[in-house]
Structure 1
Amino acid sequence: MATSREKLEEVEEKIDRLVEEIEEINSTLYNLAQDSTSAKKIKTDRIDWGIVDEVDEEYEIWYNQALTLVSEYMPEREGDFRRTYSDMDELLHFDGMEYTKADNYCGILRRVISKQKNILLSIPSKLETERLKVRKGISDEIITEELYQAKDLWDEGNVRAAGVIAGIALERHLLTLCNVSERDLKYEYSDGIRSLAETLSDAGEITNAKRSQLGYLADIRNNCAHANEEEPDKREVERLIKQAEDLVREI
Structure 2
Amino acid sequence: MESKFDKLKMELKDLIRQGDLLYYSMANAQGQLSPESVKMFQEKDIEFPNFITEYDIWYSEALLVIKQIIPDRLADFVKQYKDEKRKEIDFLTYGISDYLLGLKTSRGGQAVSNQSAAIPKMQNQITILKSAQKRFESQLFDIKEVIQADIYDSELGAAKDLAKKGFARGAGAIAGVVLEKHLGHVCELHGLSTRKKHPSISDFYQLLKENEIIDTPKWRFIQHLGDIRNLCDHNKEREPTKEEVLELVEGVDKVIKTVF
Structure with greater Cα Rg: 1
TM-score, structure 1 as length reference: 0.46
Q: Larger helix proportion, structure 1 or 2?
A: 1
TM-score, structure 2 as length reference: 0.44
